[in-house]
Amino acid sequence: MKNETRSAEANVVSSEKLLSHWQEHRRLTRKVLLAFPEDKFFTYSVGGMRPMAELAMEIIGMSMPGVYGLATGQWEVPDRPEVNFSMKPPATRAEVLKLWDETTEVINKVWPQITAERFNQTDKAFGMYEGPVHWHQFYFVDNEIHHRAQAYVYLRSLGIEPPTFWDRF
């Protein structure tokens, strides 16, 4: 920070807060995964969109390699190239949840390796999308909120009350 009074250029949000914000949303999304009846989790759709299981796999397949990418510039999980955002769902929701919880742990483990400087470096996420590292991290969270909200409509149209949006704890 060169000048405390120029708030536009000052960094104002910490890495720790960004991690917390991400994990808050992941906790809410996990509740949404559990709100579906098991069969609907894999099959139910509105407007021809993907069912919850496939959306969950996209989120897992973006977040787990994504946090490595944020930290290192290598947009993959070491020794597990199959974890990517076109991953197909496993056979049961329990297996999806296992991958979900593993992702949560990987994010917590890898996150502290993202240096303060790294957040404002430019990188090509997954070799495809160029932008600042913090922007990619925001994208992961935004994308999760976006797909989870689809699932809210699926649940409502099934007559199921979804978890409240602010219940991230």
Task: Report in angstroms how near the CB of residue 142 gets to its own copies at its nearest.
Answer: 5
Select the residue interacting with its own copies from 43, 74, 108, 120 (CB under 8 A).
Answer: 120
> Which residue number, 92 or 113, has a Cβ lying nearer to its own copies?
113
The one segment of 34-42, 75-83, 91-99, 109-117 that binds its own copies by CB under 8 A: 109-117
CA 74 centroid distance within chain:
17
Q: What is the largest CA-CA distance in the chain?
A: 56
Q: 127: alpha, beta or left, given left = phi > 0 and alpha = psi -120 to 50?
A: left
Contact 73, 126 (CB under 8 A): no
Nearest-angstrom CA–CA distance, 117 and 39? 45
Check residue 1 for interaction with its own copies (CB under 8 A). Answer: yes
Give me the 14-53 binding string for its own copies, x by CB under 8 A, dash otherwise.
xxxxxx-x---x--------------------xxxx----
The one segment of 36-44, 58-66, 86-94, 141-149 that binds its own copies by CB under 8 A: 141-149
Secondary structure class of 144 (helix, strand, coil): helix
Task: Report in angstroms how near the CB of residue 9 gets to its own copies at its nearest.
Answer: 6
Other Cβ atoms within 10 Å of 64 Cβ, number: 25
The closest alpha carbon to 133, from 70, 41, 52, belongs to: 70
Q: Which residues bind its own copies (CB under 8 A)?
A: 1, 4, 7-19, 21, 25, 46-49, 112, 114-116, 118-120, 129, 132, 134-135, 138-139, 141-143, 145-150, 152-158, 165-166
